[in-house]
Amino acid sequence: MSAGNDPTSRWYEGVTKYQWLVLAIASAGWVFDIYEGQIFNITRNQMLADVLGTSGNELDVRKYGDMFLGIFLLGGTFGGLLFGSMADRYGRRPIMIVTILMYSLFSGLTFFADSLWQVAALRFLVAMGVGGEWAVAASLVAEVFPTKARAHASGIFHASSVLGTWMAAIAGWAVGANWRYAYLFGVLPALLILWVRASVKEPATWEARKADKSGKKLGSFRDLLLNRQWNGYAFLGMALGAVGLGTFWAVTVAGQDLARDMLLANGVDKATAASKAKLAYGIIQTTGGGLGLLMFGPLCARFGRRPTFMAFHLLAFLVVPIVCFVPQSYTMLLILLPIFGFFTLAMHAGYAIYFPELFPTHLRATGTSFCFNGGRVLAVPVLFFSGWLKAQEGMELGVAATGLGSLFLVGFALMFLLPETKGRELPE
């Protein structure tokens, strides 16, 4: 038995330098993935106010903000399904390169956007690259690391997203109302391609499956969705992903607006309130979320995937109304926001751990992408409904967020239908 799979050893004992390198590269790509998504959330008030000009008001900004988040989810779905299948067919490395280049290029072009349709189109194209890169990187980490270390490594991979949110928060704070420069910064991930090309090798399991003449087609959606062995996991996983993605964009990111609304109610001017709210969400709340992401892997390894998912969905449902209605001061809100982030964000690390464990090598990136990025399709109506709900006259943000937070109970229920994968080898 290798040290990496010895149950009596620490999870990191036996992990090779190359495996750590793959984790570092995958995490770097995911950090910039998150930056590309979060920079819109952090700068959207200034961006949409500029683009709408005199034709828009604050309610329009909120409405279009959530609508564009919905478009981002659609783009991630399309790109994730396309590039996930291509990664199973043509290999992890070339598709990782294509997706990184795609989201870098179209993020930089957002610098020149001056109309709603341009913003919508560019967000869609950025999301295609983001959705594809996650599926490839998550599959790569799962395939490279030994069974004992897989949950920890995959959890670390997804937890690195916190760095992307911090980067976006700092960039948004630094550029202030000059939001275009924050998107220009998004071109930098293109340099990561050089590292990928020089360092990443195709996993041995994928190479073996490619050489296999058994007739199993690589990256086949027909096999994934019509084969009873896999299609149940695919659809249930997609629903689980939809819960996390829908609640993230409709509930978790509301921490920024909760902070901004409280500051405005306390008489703080709009510019200062917007700046402080960015830091409250992007740094303080996200720090709590990052701790949750890091904890999710070890908890999965200790207690199992199903119990950990169920506990966090239930606790997330309970914490939302507490954060929305209990704070009576901005200081109290700042104390609760990290707890809010911890419980509402942590299960996202579970997707990187759990989804690759459900599918065989020839369908791993395809199935993983279908669950996570296909879940974006189901999350889009949540975003459109969220935007409509929050734009209603007299609707309190706390009431809207609490209602939308009931979706966490759906995630809790779904885990009764999905298998436990703790300690199992990846299916071949």
Residue 150 inside a domain? The answer is yes
Q: How far apart are CA 133 and CA 106, in angstroms?
A: 15
CA atoms of 315 and 160, how far apart (whole Å): 23
Measured between alpha carbons, how far is residue 130 from residues 36, 69, 74, 317, 330 in Å? 8, 13, 11, 28, 34
Q: Is residue 4 part of a domain?
A: no
pLDDT the model gives residue 388: 84
Sign of CA dihedral 132, 137, 140, 142: negative
Instruction: Tell whether 205 is covered by a domain.
Output: no
Give the Cα separation of 47 and 54 in Å (integer): 13
Q: Report the candidate in 120, 123, 159 with the shortest Cα–Cα distance to residue 138.
A: 159
Q: Which of 193, 181, 183 is nearest to 133 (CA)?
A: 193
For 299-321, the DSSP string reads: HHHHH-HHHHHHHHHHHHHHHHH
Residue 361 lies in a domain: yes
173 neighbors 275 (Cβ within 8 angstroms)? yes
Beta-carbon count within 10 A of 112 CB = 11
* The pLDDT value given to residue 214: 62
Distances (CA, A) of 147 to 150, 239, 247, 356: 5, 26, 30, 12
Q: For residue 171, what are the domain limits? A: 15-198+219-414
Residue at token pair 């969705």: 225
Assign 224 to helix, strand or coil.
helix
* CATH number for 369: 1.20.1250.20
Domain count within the chain: 1
Q: CA 286, CA 53: separation in Å to the nearest integer?
A: 31
Query: What pLDDT score was predicted for residue 418?
Result: 97
The alpha carbon torsion through 335, 336, 338, 344 (nearest 10 deg) reads: 180
Alpha helix stretches (DSSP H) within 12-57 = 17-52
H helices present in 213-355, as ranges: 221-226, 228-247, 254-265, 270-279, 286-303, 305-325, 330-345, 347-354
Q: What is the pLDDT of residue 1?
A: 43
Whether 185 maps to a domain, the answer reads yes
- Give me the residues of the chain with pLDDT under 70, please: 1-8, 54-57, 213-215
**Cα 237 to the center of its chain, rounded Å:** 15
CB 31 within 8 A of CB 164: yes
- Does residue 208 form part of some domain? no
Task: Please report whether residue 428 resides in a domain.
Answer: no
Q: Is residue 328, in this structure, part of any structural domain at all?
A: yes
* Pick from 359, 376, 375: nearest CA to 367: 359
CA 72 to chain centre: 12
